[in-house]
Amino acid sequence: MDAVHKEKILIKNEKLISMVIERAKRDFSDDIAIIGLTGSFSTGDYHEKSDLDLTIINNTEQGWGISSCFILDDIGYDLYCTPWETRIEDQANLESPMISCLVDLQVLYCAKPEYLEKLNLYKQRALDALAMPIGRECISRAKKCIDIAKQEYANTLLSEDIGAVRYASSEVLYNLLNTLTHLNNTYFKRGMKRYLEEIATYRYVPDDFEMTYMAVIEAKTIDEIRSAAYKALKNINDLYNKMYKDFVVQPVPSYDNLGGTYEELWCNYRNKIIASVESGDRSYAYLAAMGIQGFLDEMTEWKGTKKFAIMQYFDSDHLQVFKNEFLKVMDEYLEEYNKVGRKVERYNTFEQLYNEYMKV
């Protein structure tokens, strides 16, 4: 792009920015807090058909009235609002892929000084989170993206329409890209055309990531799309599992953190398993088994108990075997209590319970 063309684009952008600010001052003085520049014109990575990305933070529902979509000189523009309580909050919590719209925002207009202070508090929250070492927080955010990618992979299996399958695979890739930003506790600083370039600078990336990524894009048939999406998903999932093991500090069972968990296991599942097995109700037993495994997995993750794999014993034709294995697990879980010196809250009479429960 030559200098003359570049100057024309920048002059047009200045006019557009002035127009939006003028409208904000005239019609939305109490409704629009901040207008800022983001996107390619903020980073300098624009071309002659790039649109102008403005972040317009609104205080009220009335502020949405400043929104507009239009085409000017063959370029489309989308002026929309970014509420504090939703989009800005998500960006500050690093729960949005648009973190750069907060962290790197160039403020062009601010209605009141307190709005800038508010913005800076949100921005600092994001910067503080980004400055943290890799650990449970960023890896937990990565898991949310992986879980969405898994859901979208399921969608590739549930349709025989190649367009629907390809769209689902694109959602798989997009969420895997965001997974990598979280695993590296960073964010995309430039537009989507630079995603692969940015990822190439990350420390934690699967081997041959770009090759598996492009294989999804280049796949021609439904089977090829599904196979490529699976490989991309598995590679990222394997990286996640390794990093979880390496970076997430595991809790240690203690007297306090185990309190009530054995009793909860008994309350929610023991009698359900006994009743379902005795009645031969396979569905009841199966759903109870699901709940047991979920509970035990949570105890391992959040309390540090040993890993229990109870679902491996479920067989709808041999429910009694499953019941026996579950009761063994109950005994093994009780050992977790014994190790930390905790006794089960068990009462033989209501009076005993009442006297203990009502103690100050």
Domain extents in the chain: 3-131, 136-247, 261-357
Q: How many helices (H) and strands (E) does the chain have?
A: 15, 5
- At 228-261, the pLDDT tens digits run 999 999 999 999 999 999 999 999 999 999 999 9
Nearest CA to 167 among 180, 156, 158?
156
Is pTM beyond 0.75? Reply is: yes
- At 300-359, the pLDDT tens digits run 999 999 999 999 999 999 999 999 999 999 999 999 999 999 999 999 999 999 999 998
User: What average pLDDT does the segment 44-54 reach?
Assistant: 85
Class for the domain spanning 3-131: alpha beta
User: What average pLDDT does the segment 26-39 reach?
Assistant: 95
Q: Record the tokens describing residue 5, joined without a space.
A: 């063309």
Q: What would be the CATH architecture of the domain defined by 136-247?
A: Up-down Bundle (1.20)
- Burial readout 267-295 (b: 16 or more C-beta within 10 A, e: otherwise): eebbebbeebbeeeeeebbeebbeebbeb
Dist. CA 209–CA 216, nearest whole Å: 11
Residue 8 — very low, low, confident or very high, per pLDDT cuts 50/70/90?
A: confident
